[in-house]
């Protein structure tokens, strides 16, 4: 049996899970999931919920990326691309027992065309498909008949990056960026022919405009059963947003149903058929569920109590809402998936997604807040090695005892990896993470920071990142490291920085703009030059190009804009790199082109600076194939071991039959570095100015209280029109909460300058049906 200190093999963490992308068929009788087949290729499988009969239903030789049930029994859609190029292909498959095993219908597999499912209500015998087959930047919308396989043009589109449909898959709204930074929603004109729509202005009327600051938390999320009223998450006048409903024909007649209190509105649960509001979630450190409808109160209370130490997540529900698929977020446990039968008020464990990890002790993940140097409150997570000895509260300064109660203060400072999320309009979340489990198993603490520019914590925090690439966004990371050092969590000389996409950019910024801060860095598919990043954006991002340039703070159309981007591009300061660096990239990356890594490696070699560079010829923006993921972790693990001395599972290039090409080995025998000359014939770009780092005051941190263990009633919601009952929101909690998550009265009170900031911290909202292609590195 494995012990607490056992090194978890990479193969148990990064091989393809036996169950992923789980969902229920509309009738609730069949479970679908993706798993590796006998040849190691990810395909779709189904399992009978009642009889457990399991069978493979797609037989592809290339990994299936995703699938969807449809309104036609035994018919599903699945998608693939070409080695990570993100030009998604969509296929139809009849999965009945009598269907030929390898027969499929091609909906779109044209090279260079990106297909997407625009609408699928899982009731009709057709779906809406988007294809950028006429204009690369915009998707035409087609109706695909699931019976006859006929593809009929519905919308000729040369203008809108997003279209929004109602419950009957009728196109109702479209989105277009405006030159003033607002987002305009347009409705279909009553004079337009719904069967032959175009994006011409004559077919559309302006509906509503969303101001630039409100855009991060404003979006429609669904229609009521009549399709006459629209639910929105609405950002105007609120940092965290409100859940509102309004008549479609009078958007100004808005009724507030729910006001977020601590984090942005996350999952919104509607009844699949009658579209009544069931529950709302917020996600700060962990998700909290607020129930709006008494008809599901007993169901949700039962499920919360089933795994009180985890955070309930509703994965899928049947059309009649009698069968649910649920799981629980927990850092210490992989996902357990249950089927809940409402009529029996009983849940049955179906499987654990990573049964091979049974017996290994996994890391805990602790959410906390700290104040950045400008007093903005930043949310973060800390994961310590499972066998790290902890300081008792009595052994630390009084000001730090709250942290010790949480289990955050180790007996001695740890080696630490600052793991920076991509996006940057994304966020780190709580829950089981193979990456965290792997790093902590090797003896590294992991620090994850939701720096300004992240989503989920209110529009103020998200908008604070605009124009701050390489500036305040980086300061937040530096302040997080300083916090960890000041509290005795991290050894200052043993802090690595690592991340993918934006996190890769942050790694390069760390090693060029602050070359003495980090012991080493790992850049995964990160951009090195913000100018060339903008010059090479995928065509289907052009509908959001203004948002992208606002996020970066400059564009490439003016000399001033280019100079601002150059000043924050690590490429032009490569000669500052002092510490070991590893770069990994996919050759087919459509978002951050391979050239971003190639040019940085070339700049380092020009100055005789060693670098480890690994290229994957069959990958894109990240590494999907299990052999490549395993090799990636092998390369990184060996690199971190050389740099900081963590535990190391032996790795040899080629042992996983990966495609990786080691183009440069930073630990090969070194040549003498050429001396840096002080004479140059070209003017050096001026780097973004980073002020001298001043340690944050040790008491300048705030811990919000955790919810009480009893149900707490929200103020009553306003009565919904056309509904008979007044809704109240009930906070759902389990019967037991671990000690480190209980309310804490002994914490240092937040300083006055932070008290007004508490309300601005909130979780991520994800629209459920809009066809959006933002920069999401």
Torsional sign, CA 396, 397, 398, 401 = negative
pLDDT at position 651: 96
Q: How many domains does the chain have?
A: 2
d(CA 289, CA 280): 6
767 three-state secondary structure: coil
pLDDT at position 668: 66
Does residue 774 have a pLDDT over 90? no
Annotate 628-685 with DSSP letters as a single string: HHHHHHHHHHHHHHHHH--------TTTT----EEEE-TTSPPPPPPPPPS--SSPPP
Mean local confidence (pLDDT), 299-317? 94
Whether residues 573 and 718 fall in one domain: no
Does residue 701 have a pLDDT over 90? no
Does residue 684 have a pLDDT over 60? no
Whether residues 507 and 629 fall in one domain: yes
Does residue 24 have a pLDDT over 50? yes
Tokens in use for 759?
Answer: 């309300």
Q: Is residue 536 part of a domain?
A: no
User: For 441-484, what is each residue's pLDDT tens digit?
Assistant: 999 999 999 999 999 999 999 999 999 999 999 999 999 999 99
Lowest model confidence (mean pLDDT) among 344-353, 568-577, 767-776: 767-776
Q: Which of 227, 224, 187, 191 is nearest to 207 (CA)?
A: 187
Does residue 728 have a pLDDT over 60? no
Whether residues 660 and 722 fall in one domain: no
Confidence of residue 726 (pLDDT cuts 50, 70, 90): very low
**In CATH, what number is assigned to the domain containing residue 640?**
3.40.50.1820
Q: Is residue 159 part of a domain?
A: no
Whether residues 273 and 329 fall in one domain: yes
Mean local confidence (pLDDT), 101-124? 94
User: For 607-634, what is each residue's pLDDT tens digit?
Assistant: 999 999 999 999 999 999 999 999 999 9
pLDDT at position 567: 97
Whether residues 716 and 611 fall in one domain: no
pLDDT at position 732: 59
Q: What angle do CA 55, 59, 64 make, to 5 degrees?
A: 100
d(CA 175, CA 154): 17
Lowest model confidence (mean pLDDT) among 262-266, 524-528, 708-712, 724-728: 708-712
Whether residues 662 and 722 fall in one domain: no
pTM for the full model?
0.88
| Location of structure tokens 């000041």 | 486
Does residue 413 have a pLDDT over 70? yes
Q: Is residue 576 part of a domain?
A: yes
Q: Is residue 286 part of a domain?
A: yes
**How high is the mean pLDDT of the chain?**
87
pLDDT at position 179: 92
- As annotated, the active-site residues are 501, 589, 621
Whether residues 583 and 664 fall in one domain: yes
Mean local confidence (pLDDT), 246-261? 96
Could you give the C-alpha distances from 479 to 371, 372, 461, 693, in angstroms and in order?
A: 8, 6, 16, 8
Whether residues 654 and 506 fall in one domain: yes
User: For 191-245, what is each residue's pLDDT tens digit?
Assistant: 998 888 999 999 999 999 999 999 999 999 999 999 999 999 999 999 999 999 9
Whether residues 508 and 645 fall in one domain: yes
Does residue 568 have a pLDDT over 60? yes
As a residue count, the chain comes to 777
Residues spanned by the domain of 623: 501-514+523-529+569-670
Whether residues 608 and 505 fall in one domain: yes
Lowest model confidence (mean pLDDT) among 35-44, 288-297, 442-451: 288-297
Whether residues 596 and 713 fall in one domain: no
Q: Is residue 1 part of a domain?
A: no
User: For 578-613, what is each residue's pLDDT tens digit?
Assistant: 999 999 999 999 999 999 999 999 999 999 999 999
User: For 424-446, what is each residue's pLDDT tens digit?
Assistant: 999 999 999 999 999 999 999 99
Whether residues 602 and 731 fall in one domain: no
Q: Is residue 630 part of a domain?
A: yes
Q: Is residue 220 part of a domain?
A: no
User: For 653-674, what is each residue's pLDDT tens digit?
Assistant: 999 999 999 999 987 654 433 4
- Percent share of the chain, pLDDT over 90: 82
Indicate the DSSP class of residue 622.
B
Instruction: Evaluate whether 496 touches 254 at the Cβ level (below 8 Å).
Output: no
Instruction: Evaluate whether 278 touches 299 at the Cβ level (below 8 Å).
Output: no
Confidence of residue 730 (pLDDT cuts 50, 70, 90): low
């Amino acid at each position: 049996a494995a012990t607490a200190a056992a090194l978890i093999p990479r193969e148990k963490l990064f091989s393809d899970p036996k169950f992923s992308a789980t969902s229920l068929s509309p009738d609730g009788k069949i479970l679908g999931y993706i798993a590796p087949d006998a040849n190691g290729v990810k395909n779709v499988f189904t399992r009978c919920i009642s009889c457990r009969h399991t069978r493979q239903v797609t037989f592809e030789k290339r990994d299936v990326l995703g699938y969807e049930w449809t309104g036609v029994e035994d018919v599903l859609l699945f998608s693939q691309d070409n080695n990570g190029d993100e030009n998604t292909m969509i296929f139809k498959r009849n999965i009945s027992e009598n269907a030929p095993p390898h027969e499929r219908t091609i909906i779109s597999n044209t090279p260079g065309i990106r297909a997407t499912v625009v609408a699928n209500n899982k009731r009709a015998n057709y779906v809406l498909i988007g294809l950028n087959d006429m204009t690369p930047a915009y998707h035409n919308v087609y109706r695909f008949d699931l019976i006859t396989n006929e593809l009929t043009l519905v919308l000729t589109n040369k203008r809108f990056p997003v279209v929004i449909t109602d419950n009957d898959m009728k196109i109702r709204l479209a989105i277009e960026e405006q030159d003033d930074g607002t987002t305009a929603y347009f409705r279909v004109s009553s004079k337009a022919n719904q069967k032959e729509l175009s994006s011409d202005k004559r077919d559309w009327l302006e509906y509503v405009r969303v101001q630039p600051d409100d855009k991060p938390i404003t979006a429609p999320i669904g229609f009521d059963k009549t399709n006459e009223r629209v639910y929105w998450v609405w950002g105007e006048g609120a940092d965290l947003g409100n859940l509102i409903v309004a008549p479609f024909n009078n958007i100004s007649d808005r009724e507030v149903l729910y006001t977020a209190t601590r984090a942005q509105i996350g999952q919104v649960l509607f009844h699949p058929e009658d579209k009544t509001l069931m529950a709302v979630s917020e996600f700060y450190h962990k998700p909290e569920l607020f129930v709006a409808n008494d008809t599901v109160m007993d169901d949700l209370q039962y499920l919360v109590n089933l795994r009180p130490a985890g955070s309930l997540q509703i994965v899928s529900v049947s059309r009649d809402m009698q069968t649910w698929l649920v799981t629980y977020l927990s850092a210490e446990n992989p996902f357990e998936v249950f089927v809940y039968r409402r009529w029996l008020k009983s849940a049955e464990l179906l499987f654990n997604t990573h049964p091979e990890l049974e017996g290994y002790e996994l890391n805990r993940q602790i959410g906390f807040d700290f104040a950045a140097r400008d007093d903005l409150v930043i949310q973060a997570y800390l994961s310590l090695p499972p066998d790290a000895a902890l300081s008792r509260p009595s052994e630390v300064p009084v000001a730090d005892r709250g942290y010790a109660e949480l289990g955050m203060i180790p007996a001695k400072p740890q080696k630490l990896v600052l793991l920076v999320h991509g996006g940057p309009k994304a966020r780190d979340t709580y829950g089981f993470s193979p990456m965290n489990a792997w790093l902590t198993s090797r003896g590294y603490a992991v620090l994850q920071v939701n720096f300004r520019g992240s989503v989920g914590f209110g529009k103020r925090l998200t908008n604070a990142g605009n124009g701050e690439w390489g500036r305040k966004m980086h300061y937040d990371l530096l302040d997080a490291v300083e916090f960890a050092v000041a509290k005795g969590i991290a050894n200052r000389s043993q802090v690595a920085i690592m991340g993918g996409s934006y996190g890769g950019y942050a790694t390069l910024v760390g090693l060029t703009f602050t070359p003495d801060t980090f012991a080493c860095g790992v850049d995964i598919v990160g951009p090195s030059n913000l100018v060339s990043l903008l010059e090479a954006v995928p065509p289907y991002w052009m509908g959001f190009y203004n948002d992208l340039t606002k996020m970066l703070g400059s564009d490439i159309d003016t000399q001033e804009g280019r100079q601002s981007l150059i000043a924050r591009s690590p490429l032009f300061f490569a000669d500052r790199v002092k510490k070991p660096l590893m770069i990994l990239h996919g050759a087919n990356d459509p978002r951050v082109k391979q050239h971003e890594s190639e040019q940085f490696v070339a700049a380092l070699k020009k100055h005789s600076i060693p670098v480890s560079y690994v290229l994957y010829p069959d990958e894109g923006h990240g590494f999907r194939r299990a052999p490549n993921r395993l090799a990636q972790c092998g390369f990184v693990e060996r690199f971190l071991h050389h740099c900081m001395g963590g535990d190391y599972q032996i790795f040899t290039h080629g042992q996983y039959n990966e495609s990786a090409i080691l183009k440069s080995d930073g630990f090969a025998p070194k040549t003498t570095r050429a001396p840096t000359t002080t004479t140059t014939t070209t003017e050096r770009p001026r780097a973004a100015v980073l002020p001298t780092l001043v340690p944050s005051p040790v008491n300048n941190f705030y811990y919000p209280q955790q919810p009480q263990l009893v149900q707490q009633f929200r103020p009553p919601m306003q009565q919904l029109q056309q509904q008979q009952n007044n809704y109240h929101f009930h906070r759902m909690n389990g019967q037991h909460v671990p000690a480190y998550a209980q309310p804490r009265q002994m914490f240092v009170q937040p300083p006055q300058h932070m008290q007004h900031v508490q309300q601005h911290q909130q979780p991520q909202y994800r629209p459920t049906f809009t066809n959006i292609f933002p920069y999401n590195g």
